[in-house]
Amino acid sequence: MFPKVPDQHKNGKPLIPNGLGVLYVLFVTVYLFFLYFLGIGSISIGVSAPLTLAVCVLFGGFMGLLDDWLDLKWRYKAFMPLIAALPLIYFAIDMNARTSITLPFIGFVNFGVWYFYLIIPLIVMIVTNTVNMLGGFNGLESVCPAIVLLGLMSISALTSPIYLLMVGPIIFWLILSVLNFKGKIFVGNSGSFAIGMTIAAFAIIADVKLSLLISIIPYIFNSSLILLTVFFTRKKALITFKDNKLVSHHKRSLVTILTFNRPLSERKIVTIISIIVAVFTLLAVIYSFFSIPI
């Protein structure tokens, strides 16, 4: 049913089913429509939180499929998520969302109308693309987003029942994550873009913007390093696979920093990065407990 692709980081390069992120998109859409019909999770009179999130996830999955089929260039992938920002902008305006963020050591920053037309599109664009860029290993593009989503869910549960939007999706994604970590499946671009869109959209709907920012610091660091290296040196991050270990001889991404002249197994790389993401997500959760709502 699903096309098989070689696992580049395994001896013999066994063929693995790819693109199972489509199942996540289908499941989440049905789940969110079910919540909509039950009247669960709606926190706005004019628009529905479940339907808004469903539209965003559907677009993320569609964007991933386009990338799988057409191998989109980064200049297109970078800005395509902006389309998915439109329903979020409408939702935020309709519910009269807070346009401010309380930043550590800085304080209260109110963006006013710019929050709707600048901050929301930036959140969607940055989160979706940075999540997609940190992948390529079994479990990396599935386990780390699951950690971030669990953190955002726990934070949102402190103030409202909106966390119910993520109960079904996170359970289904965790199942895919276990299979992906074991090297049984690949979620593909349809999965990585859909989960990135899920994180961005849920953070906006649940109004946990600063928590999101803290949680994805490793993602932002990885993407910034990759883009700056390409811009200034025209060189990409490369990694060599030999004797079941991966090693790099430069520092052009988070993965190449960890493997710089230090051979590591694929599973160890994924575990280390997952721990790093978990630490920052935990910091976001702790901060939410000891500050005003963010």
Residue 166, pLDDT > 90, answer yes
pLDDT value of residue 41 = 63
Average pLDDT of the chain is 89
| Two tokens, residue 146 | 């699951």
What six digits make up the tokens of 113?
């109308």
Helix or strand holding residue 29 (H, E)? helix 21-38
Assess contact for 24 and 176: CB atoms under 8 A: yes
> Could you tell me if 257 and 173 are in contact, meaning their C-beta atoms sit under 8 angstroms apart?
no
What are the tokens at 184? 């049984």
pLDDT band at 147 (very low <50, low <70, confident <90, very high): very high
pLDDT band at 252 (very low <50, low <70, confident <90, very high): very high
The residue-averaged pLDDT of 170-178 equals 96
pLDDT, residue 81, reads 86
Say how far apart CA 169 and CA 157 lie, in whole Å: 16
Percent of the chain at pLDDT > 70 equals 96
Maximum mean pLDDT: which of 45-49, 92-96, 147-151, 228-232: 147-151
Average pLDDT over residues 121-129: 94
pLDDT of residue 149: 96
pLDDT at 95: 85
* Closest-CA residue to 197 (of 57, 50, 54): 57
* Whether this model's pTM surpasses 0.85: yes
The answer, yes or no, to whether residue 123 has pLDDT greater than 90, is yes
Is residue 171 a contact partner of residue 177, using CB atoms and an 8 Å limit? Answer: no
How far apart CA 103 and CA 245 sit, in angstroms, is 41
Are the CB atoms for 209 and 101 separated by under 8 Å?
yes
CA distance 287 to 209: 12
Alpha helices in 95-139 (DSSP H): 114, 120-133
DSSP one-letter code for 294:
-
CB 140 within 8 A of CB 273: yes
pLDDT of residue 43: 55
Q: Could you tell me if 215 and 284 are in contact, meaning their C-beta atoms sit under 8 angstroms apart?
A: yes
Give residue 29's pLDDT. 96
Q: Residue 42: helix, strand or coil by DSSP?
A: coil
